Amino acid sequence: MTPSPTPSSPTPSSSGRSPVGRRAVLGAAAAVASAPALAGLATPASAAPAGRGKSPRALPGGGDLGPNVIVFDPSTPGIQAKLDEVFKKQESAQFGTGRYALLFKPGSYSGLNAQIGFYTSIAGLGLSPDDTTINGDITVDAGWFNGNATQNFWRSAENLAVVPVNGTNRWAVAQAAPFRRMHVRGGLNLSPNGYGWASGGYIADSRIDGQVGPYSQQQWYTRDSAIGSWLNGVWNMVFSGVEGAPGQSFPNPPYTTLDTTPVSREKPFLYLNGSEYRVFLPEKRTNARGVTWGNGTPRGTSLPLSQFYVAKPGVSAATLNEALAQGLQLLLTPGIYHLDRPIQVNRANTVVLGLGYATLIPDNGATAVKVADVDGVRLAGFLIDAGPVNSATLLEVGPAGASADHSANPTTVQDVFIRIGGAGPGKATTSMAINSRHTIVDHTWVWRADHGDGVGWETNRADYGVRVNGDDVLATGLFVEHFNKYDVQWYGQRGRTIFFQNEKAYDAPNQAAIQNGSIKGYAAYKVADSVTTHEGWGLGSYCYYNVDPSIVQHHGFAAPNASGVKFHNLLVVSLGGQGQYERVINDTGSPTSGTSTVPSTVVSYP
């Protein structure tokens, strides 16, 4: 998250650009059983009980979704009042314990303004977004923080059509706030009322019929979508597989545009088939472009809720693992789950899907989730919060040394967010370790907290954010911030990253605290010297050393000088002159200087 800045004259100019202005801090933060897909929709046969001929499962599949999943249909009375009630609880509850999923059955709804606060997800229950239409707005604004949207984290919208009242829907978010599988029948404004600062964001598999106006948004990634047009850019706007995207023009305007996304597979989602809840598992696409749902029934497979263990807060890790061992998938209903051991995913094609920002906390230094070196696991829609005892890792995809080929059926990690500190003391040496080959990390925010409770250079110590050891890993939408040493370390061959957003740790006490041998500071994104093939597009690193503004960071990016290691459209920014970069990547690129918050860029490296 970027420090809370005050914009100067923040109205969009005639060119559609919002002036960038100097930054000033507003004080310490405010408070499958996988079956071959047939044309359209394939449904795997119901799973047989574990152990044919033995006793039936001890743990049942299916069941109710708990009190914090609130389901509406068009005839439900008092919908607006219920939406307002949830928003009142969640509007400013940045580190609170409330978790909510607001689900709308297929049909048409009128006169609603669904304001979405912290840890709140709103979603339609159709197979297509157009099955569920909100004639009204789905709004994120920043009134709770004086018009500053840089802390509008942890909320989502999914699988709905929206017909905005005034023609434009407002979605002024920062990190960890995905906008997936949405159809906006109008425009989309990504800035808060008054054009205050914002630090987002992510759109995927969505259609915005009108114009997307980022205005003051510092960075944004849009994947496999269709838009009417795009208004402006501040620092780093990246598009892959987006119909209607602006052309490649980095650094002015700062657009990085890829015609297609090399590999993608959309996030699993809950839907209704008649009165039966099912989870849809979209199929993998290569060289993807545009939405998956535009031409009739989406392609993929579907599982009945009876094949899921529907977990409620308070359940033990042992019970979750028992459910997995029985062959069930996991659906984590909204709430907080304390773990004394890892959730161990050993079976190919297992789905672990969270609703309403279900949150996993390892209490005793355990890893929260470990995945075996198997095909097709889908992890989606949950938050991992580090516990007070240091964890070596918080999420581990594949064991160390994993080497199986998963190109035909990769594991996906989607809207899985990690936090160290903020809600209380937390520590982890490495937050996310990706060891399995061909893993797709599609939208994550891995955050060592810079504000909240339990925050300090050693209090929420976390040396490394994301470490990629596996070969052929693809990251689409990688947000990693504030780690004590390297934010991203990449050891695997043939890795690719499309969009990276980073801030170095604000709270380094002095230059010596970040000294990396003979190098000043740890790069935000470090490709190991042993790597011979790697590629990245649209990568940005920002520094804001507010404890000691004299700190110098040598570079944002470090990589071997090898013909197969390539970067496109890199930038570093000193926020208000609080610390400076000497270079952009390795020893290349102009230094930042002064207090004007102007990026230094490298269009192509080497």
Residues taking part in catalysis: 503
Q: Which helix (H) or strand (E) holds 325?
A: helix 317-325
The secondary structure element, H or E, covering residue 320 is helix 317-325
In our burial notation (b when 16+ CB lie closer than 10 A, e otherwise), range 243-277 reads ebbbeeebbebbbbbbebbbbbbbbbbbbbeeeeb
For the chain, helix (H) and strand (E) counts, in that order, are 2, 47
CA atoms in the 13 A half-sphere facing the CB of 521: 35
Asked whether the bond before 560 is cis by omega within 30 degrees of 0, the reply is no
> What residues form DSSP beta bridges with 379?
352, 413
d(CA 485, CA 468): 15
Contact criterion met (CB below 8 Å) for 299 and 40: yes
Instruction: Measure the CA–CA gap between 122 and 135, rounded to whole angstroms.
Output: 15
* Residue tagged 């002024």 (tokens): 172
Strand partners, 537: 498, 568
537: left (phi over 0), alpha (psi -120 to 50) or beta: beta
Residue located via tokens 């780093």: 236
> What would the two tokens of residue 514 be?
């970040």
Q: Which of 564, 411, 443, 539 is nearest to 156 (CA)?
A: 443
Q: Measured between alpha carbons, how far is 443 from 466 in angstroms, rounded to an integer?
A: 13
Question: DSSP states of 174-197 as a string?
Answer: -SS--EES-EESSEEE-S-TT---
CA–CA separation, 564 vs 527, rounded Å?
A: 12
Q: Which amino acid is at 156?
A: S
